[in-house]
A = this chain, B = another copy of it.
Amino acid sequence: MGHTKLEVEKSLSSFLTEKVETSIDPLVTQVASLIKEFTLNGGKRIRPILMVSGYSLFMEPDSRIYNASICTEISQTYFLIQDDIMDQSMLRRGKPAFHLQVLEKLYRNGNDLKHHAESIAIIASDLADSYCHQALLKSGFDPILLTQADMELSNIFEATGQGQLIDINSFFDDNFTVRDLMRVHLWKTARYTIEGPLRMGAILSGTKEKLQMLSSYGYSLGLAFQLHDDLLGLFGDETVLGKSVKSDINEGKKTLLILKAMENGTSDEREFLSSAIRSGNVSDDEFQRVKKIVERTGSLDYSIDLSKKLSENSKKYIARSPGRQDIKDFLTWLSDYIIKRSS
């Protein structure tokens, strides 16, 4: 998939460069440049690669699908800008969060301009969202396929928003259950990151095959992806991740790791975990204790086992999906990779 990633990078760079260069207003140029740099800086391009894969299952890829696929990468810019404002995160991909870059580059870190920089960042996220639809709509596919794919994109964005709602609210929801959490993961991660891009690619190929098995693959692997992300968020390597390893805890995230540990822990442990994720700023010692409790209660093993099982299931689904074998082989490889990666 090295070739695909390269083609995606080329499309991304050329689309965003055009945005910067065709702007007639200096402020718009500045913001478009920030969007460009933010988008081009890192990112595994997993969504566009999956979109190209969904297409390649049924059709030989050409420049149109690379150009269309970047809508699922620019959407990351759209959502990550907002996420970091909501969570008041400082770092993203090893650099200052977008709104902090605005504060620094447009307003020289003026202290009283924080709210203002966040407003500019929200507008930048809106621009990125427009870019997503534009990139897709000008990719050159048949309008019948484009309207279907753009409806899919809009539905994906709606699902992502719904997942994000429940996620953000979970901090204040004392009755937040594993069922709620699964809804977040299915909508905000599985559909948005895996299932949606795959389906969009398949839609653009114009295939008449049923996409049910492909969707099941996407949902299973998407859940596994999120569980593994949560593992990295607690037990991963900060320098590889590009963000503080404490940030999940400090943001008060009720991950499956935390929920299961609370379910299985002693009342002391439950109380400690509950206060740790509410503190907003755990010490090193507290952070170590969180990890120990997650291990001791079997919650760590539970999450690892579940993500393995989901990854295995996804392989069964892709085996039963129609489409070219070499692409199915890649997707099978991905099922393993996703629960082994370190970032």
- A binding-site residues for B, Cβ under 8 Å: 23, 25, 27-28, 31, 82, 85-86, 88, 106-107, 113, 115-116, 119-120, 122-124, 126-127, 129-131, 133-134, 137-138, 142-144, 146-147, 150-151, 153-155, 157-158, 160-162, 164-166, 168-169, 171-172, 183
Q: Could you say which of B153, B157, B169 contacts A27, with CB atoms under 8 Å apart? A: B169
Question: Of all chain B residues, which has the CB nearest A166?
Answer: B27
Given contacts A134-B151, A151-B137, A169-B120, contact A127 B161 (CB under 8 A): yes
Q: Write the nearest CB–CB distance from A290 to chain B, whole angstroms.
A: 23
Which of these, B25, B129, B169, contacts A166 with CB under 8 Å? Answer: B25
Chain B residues lying within 8 Å of A120, measured Cβ to Cβ, are: 165, 168-169
New A-B contacts (13) at CB < 8 Å, excluding given A82-B123, A120-B165, A147-B150: A27-B169, A86-B122, A113-B172, A120-B168, A123-B161, A123-B168, A124-B165, A127-B162, A130-B157, A130-B161, A133-B154, A134-B158, A137-B151
**Bound form: Cα–Cα A131–B162 in Å:** 12
A88, A127, A160, A171 — which one has the most chain B CB atoms within 10 A of its CB?
Answer: A127
Q: Which residues of B contact A107 (CB under 8 A)?
A: 172
**Which residue of chain B has its CB nearest to the CB of A180?**
B25
B123 touching A164 by the CB < 8 A rule?
A: yes
Q: Which residues of B contact A162 (CB under 8 A)?
A: 23, 25, 28, 127
A154 vs B155: C-alpha distance when bound (angstroms):
16
- Can you list 17 residue pairs at the A/B interface with Cβ under 8 Å? A25-B166, A25-B183, A27-B165, A27-B169, A28-B166, A31-B165, A86-B122, A113-B172, A120-B169, A123-B168, A127-B158, A127-B162, A130-B158, A130-B161, A134-B158, A137-B147, A147-B147
